[in-house]
Amino acid sequence: MSRHPGDDAKGGDAPHVLRYDGRRLAPAHHLPVREVHVALMVNGVDLATLIASPHDLHFLVAGFLRMQGLVRSAGDLLTLSVCEDLGTASVRIRGDVPDRITPTFTSGCGAGISFDVPSSEGRPVQLPSAGPFASPESLFSAMDALARVSVAYRGSGGIHSAGAWDGERLLLFAEDIGRHNTIDRIAGQALLGGIDLSGGILVASGRVSSEMAAKAGSLGISVIASRTSPTDLAVRICGELGITLVGYVRGRRFNVYTHPTRIAAAAVERIPGVRG
């Protein structure tokens, strides 16, 4: 049975903490999020240790393998089993596992390591030939929807969320202690559910870094919108890939860093320095 990231610490299990209320320290309760380590074995090869939230780990594993380029379709996953109690995941895939996979240290929290960050080089996402792609109101609605379903964050904090938005609703949603894990989880859900994310919108609660931008590009995402900021390398990658990058979506305002022609507005002012 699938568990939600906020289900593991409730009631008397919550440790006592001291909270400063502006005047004094007073006893309080806090529900910390859980973290698990999962040793991933693929075709009998010890591939990686994933550090993540404990729920729906099969999505995370499938998405991780997809992002590493080891599987392209659900049919490439011959078997997939996860044992949280032992902290292991065992997968059989079509084809061979590369002899050497070089890890890349990322800027993220949680795992902080990716074995193969998808290249920023590739076929750019096509800009629309007629009319805008996303309205400001759609981006605000997407961020509001993300906030409403982020139950674990409201209960505990210390967790990231991301969602795939089709212009009217969240198609997919993921929460995890690692920002990059949320993208892998969405990739896994899409893979196993047969959902094409090409041309869609990715909404995220945290900073958009270069590896997140590259992963979104590999999924065919057209717009990335975040409550916080992108890095300069993420801006460059999104510019190269044709992705519209939007940051600081809050308080009915946002910044557009690349390809503003996808954003529908009554009047779009072309600002020097904004790519697209």
Task: Give the residue numbers annotated as catalytic, written as ranges.
Answer: 109
DSSP SS3 for 74: helix
Q: How far is 87 from 28, CA to CA, in rounded Å? A: 31
Residue 172, CA distances (Å) to 42, 85, 157, 161, 163 in order: 26, 27, 21, 11, 5
> In sequence order, what are the residues at sequence separation of 6 or more whose Cβ sits closer than 8 angstroms to the Cβ of residue 39?
46, 49, 87, 88, 89
The 10 Å Cβ neighbour count of residue 198 is 10
Residue with tokens 């590493």: 68
The 10 Å Cβ neighbour count of residue 248 is 14
